[in-house]
Amino acid sequence: MSDEREPIRVGVLGARGRMGAEVCKAVDAADDLEVVAMIDQGDWLFNASDAGAEVIVDFTTPDVVMDHLHWCIDQGINVVVGTSGFTEQRFERVRSWLQHKPEVGVVIAPNFGVGAVLMMEFAARAARFFESVEIIEQHHPRKLDAPSGTATHTARLVAEARAAAGMAAMPDATKDEIAGARGAEIDGVRVHSVRASGLVAHQEVLFGTAGETLTIRHDSFDRASFMPGVLLAIRSVISRPGLTIGLNPLLGP
Ligand SMILES: NC(=O)C1=CN([C@@H]2O[C@H](COP(=O)(O)OP(=O)(O)OC[C@H]3O[C@@H](n4cnc5c(N)ncnc54)[C@H](OP(=O)(O)O)[C@@H]3O)[C@@H](O)[C@H]2O)C=CC1
Ligand SMILES: O=C(O)C1=N[C@H](C(=O)O)C[C@H](O)C1
């Protein structure tokens, strides 16, 4: 008798979208995974539970993702979420739903690109050495939200590292400003969003201190860059109950 398990049964929400379609292709191509439900706007969520999905992957929109998460947790189905728009309040709500279903695993990652995860990690590490830091994120013009989830997460990590090091506010003499010229402020860190045709997903974290700057940059030129992270999350979430935020805990040392 073989001890190999059957392929993990995966449902994809947002299956006709840019990311959802790529996820369906990547899951289909993996021997140990199987797409059992492809669900998009207007489709019945119960198609996924009826098909016996063990993991649901959500790449939809920030305004519907919480309803999806609540439904999946209620159904006892593990979830991998790439959709943006997560705040600490949203994470708290997910934790409260999970209290009633402690066996369910949820992975929510602002960015599944391994390079992007490292860019965020390096930025957090650099933060305490530079008095100034600003984030410039660049995306395709069909993106609905600004700033990106990745930029928001990076700003929070950098702000936490600055606070832990007891750093003062950044120097900035700006007095006259056209609204938006200095970007959005997230936990005291300025974030600038660029939208242009030809871009996919790109981010620079620009640090400065006396006499030097450091730029940490990541580029996703193709959505294929997110797939190894998505597949890792699908394989991991079935044996990882509770809420996991970000890909870092799944990547190992
Ligand atoms: N974490 C990561 O690594 C990444 C995250 N993202 C995030 O993923 C999300 C999706 O991005 P992207 O694929 O580019 O966007 P798309 O607009 O291409 O795809 C979203 C899809 O979800 C569908 N949809 C909307 N509402 C529902 C619903 N209620 N039920 C099922 N499907 C629904 C949309 O349908 P319709 O078009 O008909 O509305 C669309 O097909 C964004 O939040 C983006 O920021 C993107 C890339 C990487
Ligand atoms: O919409 C996108 O494309 C992306 N969204 C995510 C985000 O908001 O950070 C991840 C990546 O930047 C691509």
pLDDT tens track of the chain, all 253 residues? 556 789 999 999 999 999 999 999 999 999 999 999 999 999 999 999 999 999 999 999 999 999 999 999 999 999 999 999 999 999 999 999 999 999 999 999 999 999 999 999 999 999 999 999 999 999 999 999 999 999 999 999 999 999 999 999 999 999 999 999 999 999 999 999 999 999 999 999 999 999 999 999 999 999 999 999 999 999 999 999 999 999 999 998 8
Cα distance between residue 86 and residue 55, in whole Å: 20
Contact 234, 33 (CB under 8 A): yes
15 known ligand binder: yes
Contact 226, 113 (CB under 8 A): yes
Report the length, in residues, of the chain: 253
Q: State the pLDDT at residue 55.
A: 98
Q: State the pLDDT at residue 12.
A: 98
Sign, CA torsion 177/180/184/189: negative
Bridge partner residues of 122 (DSSP): none
CA 19 to ligand 2: nearest atom: 3
For a substitution probing ligand 1, which of 18, 23, 60 has the most ligand atoms within 8 Å of its CB? 60
Give 137 Cα–ligand 2 centroid separation in angstroms: 10
19 known ligand binder: yes
Bridge partner residues of 206 (DSSP): 134, 215
Contact 79, 69 (CB under 8 A): yes
Q: State the pLDDT at residue 253.
A: 82
Q: State the pLDDT at residue 3.
A: 60
Q: Is 138 in the pocket of ligand 2 (CB under 6 A)?
A: no
In angstroms, how far is CA 201 from the centroid of its own chain?
Answer: 12
Q: State the pLDDT at residue 160.
A: 98
Cα distance between residue 74 and residue 76, in whole Å: 5
Q: ipTM strictly over 0.85?
A: yes
H-assigned helices in the chain: 18-29, 46-50, 65-75, 88-99, 114-126, 149-164, 227-237, 248-251
Give 53 Cα–ligand 1 centroid separation in angstroms: 19
Q: For residue 55, give both structure tokens.
A: 């993991």
Bridge partner residues of 55 (DSSP): 10, 78
